[in-house]
Amino acid sequence: MGRITPSFRQRYMETIRVLRKETLSMNEKRKNRKVLGNIIMEYWERDYAAMSNSESVSTLDILNLMASIATKREIEKLKERLTRLEGIIH
């Protein structure tokens, strides 16, 4: 018989399980768990379909990339807001 390769969904769920377990063992348990939960729900779950089509990188690499993109997007929003607020003040 041939070897069975786990689906992206299986690898994704296993990676999430491991990340949650490791996060829970860190010092700031509640804070880290909430942040990880937000990343999973706000970014990874939303972009799951796009991530599942990638075959060239590992699951964790994809998750990291998507989180980085989302972080950059939030930074850009905050920069725009800061620029508007500075314009109001001056």
What would the pLDDT profile of 24-82 be if each residue is shown by its tens digit?
A: 565 556 666 677 777 777 777 777 777 777 666 677 777 777 778 778 878 888 999 99
d(CA 85, CA 9): 43
Q: Where in the chain are the domains?
A: 8-89
| Prediction pTM value | 0.51
